[in-house]
Homo-oligomer: A and B are copies of this chain.
Amino acid sequence: MATDAAQAEAVGGPDPGIRISPPATKLDFATILGLIFALGLIVVAIMMGNSNANFVNGPSFLIVILGTMAATSVSYTGRELKHVPGIIGNTIVRRSRDPSDIATQLMNIAMLARKRGLLALAGMDSELRKDPFLARAVQFVTDGYSGEDIDRVLGQEVDALAERHRHSASIVRRASEIAPAMGLIGTLVGLVQMLAQLDDPSSIGPAMAVALLTTFYGAILGTVILGPMAAKLERNSNDETMIKNLILTAMGSIARQENPRRMEMLLNSELPPEERIHYFD
């Protein structure tokens, strides 16, 4: 990184040193393996019990899955629900960036602005296209908005983004709360049916077993699948908000024409210790 900076200082022509790394697609193995392992464990537990019990029951399965989906969709609009597959996909495959990479790239931009002036940033268009938020932020700087304006407008955008993330996570969170309740409702249906023909004692056990299956499915869906996924989405949102806040801090600093060393200090105060950059050493 220090070499990038040195290069930036040495070269006189259009700056080749400034590259913006676009978010890289990343598989979250902890999430995938966690899901597979947790569900696998339950399957193993079922198979170890040497019993002729049948844990697969299509109707029970459908009432929990579809019922949870239907009751969740009551609280949202069609437009929001269309995003749900993407939201769930985001818990596993996620586009993210290394905070210290983006911090170094922001330092590069600051050095360029310092040496060639703010308008030199306009020449970075092809690189900036990789990150629309950064492109918008740089645009504000080259349009001559003040640091306070940039703080206010980008800050509001970051807040609105975090709010939208929260809203997306809330869909999964709601579903995780509804699933056990749908399981309970299914079990109540089974219990009432069983109790109505209590005169045949031999059917009690199996009927009861089937009735409990919806509670079982609801507990797995809510506790093992949807609940942790909602928590993952909330966690990912924090990650992305941190990246956006780095950009916001850097662009405000550039617009105020502050010393890049000061900007490094500000960026580092937002980064975890192991991600901090040492741009000038």
CB distance from A136 to the nearest CB of B (A): 9
Q: Are B202 and A199 in contact (CB under 8 A)?
A: yes
A10 at the interface (CB under 8 A from B): no
Q: Which of A17-25, A100-108, A118-126, A265-273 contacts B (4 or more CB under 8 A)?
A: A265-273
Interface members, chain A 28-46 (any B CB < 8 Å): 28-31, 33-35, 37-38, 41-42, 44-46
Q: Which residues in A have some Cβ–Cβ distance to B below 8 Å?
A: 28-31, 33-35, 37-38, 41-42, 44-46, 48-49, 51-55, 59, 62-63, 66-67, 70-78, 80-81, 91, 132, 140, 145, 149, 153-154, 156-157, 160, 164, 167, 174, 178, 181-182, 184-186, 188-199, 202, 204-206, 208-209, 212-213, 215-216, 219-220, 222-225, 227-229, 231-232, 235, 238, 262, 265-266, 269-273
* Apart from A30-B73, A52-B196, 9 more pairs, CB < 8 Å: A30-B74, A34-B70, A34-B74, A38-B74, A42-B185, A49-B189, A74-B225, A132-B273, A195-B208
CB distance from A17 to the nearest CB of B (A): 27
Q: Are B76 and A185 in contact (CB under 8 A)?
A: no
Q: Are B76 and A235 in contact (CB under 8 A)?
A: yes
Which residue from chain B places its CB closest to the CB of A39 in the assembled complex? B70
Q: Are A153 and B266 in contact (CB under 8 A)?
A: yes
CB distance from A166 to the nearest CB of B (A): 10
Q: Are B231 and A75 in contact (CB under 8 A)?
A: yes
Q: Are B196 and A74 in contact (CB under 8 A)?
A: no
A77 and B28 contact, Cβ closer than 8 Å, known pairs A196-B205, A205-B198: yes
Contacts of A228 in B (CB 8 A): 71-72, 74-75, 174, 178
CB distance from A32 to the nearest CB of B (A): 9
A219 to B181, CA, bound (A): 7
Q: Are A174 and B231 in contact (CB under 8 A)?
A: yes
Q: Are B71 and A224 in contact (CB under 8 A)?
A: yes
Contacts of A204 in B (CB 8 A): 198
CB distance from A65 to the nearest CB of B (A): 10
A160 to B249, CA, bound (A): 15
- Selected from B76, B202, B222, the residue in CB contact (under 8 A) with A30 is B76
Q: Are B29 and A223 in contact (CB under 8 A)?
A: no
Contacts of A30 in B (CB 8 A): 73-74, 76-78, 80-81
Q: Are B195 and A70 in contact (CB under 8 A)?
A: no
Q: Are A41 and B63 in contact (CB under 8 A)?
A: yes
Please list the 8 inter-chain residue pairs (A to B) with the smallest Cβ-Cβ separation, ordered nearest first. Answer: A198-B205, A74-B228, A53-B196, A38-B70, A75-B231, A34-B73, A34-B74, A195-B209
